[in-house]
Amino acid sequence: MAILKVEGLCKSFGGLRAVNNLDFEVNDGEIVGIIGPNGSGKTTSLNLFTGFLKPNSGKITFRDEDITGMPRYKVCQRGMARTFQLCKPFLDFTALQNVVVGRVYGQMPSHNLKQAADEARHILDQVGLLSKETTLVKDLTTMQRKRLELARALATRPTMLLLDELMAGLNLAEADEACKLITSIRDAGVTIIMVEHIVKAVTCISDRIMVLNMGEKIAEGAPEAIVRDQRVIDVYLGKTHA
């Protein structure tokens, strides 16, 4: 059953069509990867889904509700959370305080700070950061900040989580850890869309992959089919994947 349905979605910036007539569905419980060259419309699509941008035309339905053009905070309260390419935590807050903020303002928000803190500790434990709960964010490593970014999104109690290049800047071992963490989050009942440039990671954990180029969907299917698709090889993967 589709938890997210996108129909005829278009977004232009001046004369540039960043997303062009996109049709896309995500089923409950899936991990769906989105790949494509730089500037292909991947992050713009996430921004449209989550209310950070308003489309010029088209429709976005989430959990049977039309959320097209809905303010981002309302989209979050409906159960759709996201991470960002560039992590923007509160640097002078502790890891715990950062996650508490998400818990207070997300879906089914907690207005009891003690309860919110207890739930935040549980989430920090889930992403492997409980030992850093009192550490200021400015003192965390890149990998730890990525985990915190994920924890802040999870604190909003999402039913769908959108990850925008969560693995950027990570080494191979760290990316492998991130894949295991993402899979565990899906197994806990959260549907996931991930935009990523690390093709091996996307193909390993995604149920389906959508490929964008110049704002248009050029392919969609199982990972093993996508890596053999000649159009995808030509515009993105290159001959080494052929």
The angle subtended at Cα 177 by Cα 176 and Cα 180, nearest 5°, is 90
Helices marked H in the chain — which ranges?
42-49, 72-77, 95-105, 113-126, 142-154, 172-187, 199-205, 223-226, 230-232
Gap between the Cα atoms of 99 and 127, Å rounded: 12
pTM of the model: 0.90
- 226 or 107, greater pLDDT: 226
CA distance 96 to 98: 5
pLDDT band at 106 (very low <50, low <70, confident <90, very high): low
Q: Residues 6 or more apart from 17 whose CB is under 8 A from it?
A: 10, 11, 215
Sorted by where each begins, the domain ranges of the chain are 29-53+70-79+161-242, 81-157
pLDDT digits (tens, 9 = 90+) for 159-191: 999 999 988 888 888 889 889 999 999 999 999
Q: Which CATH architecture has domain 29-53+70-79+161-242?
A: 3-Layer(aba) Sandwich (3.40)
Considering the chain, what percentage of its residues have pLDDT values greater than 90?
77
Alpha-carbon gap, residue 183 to 137, rounded angstroms: 25
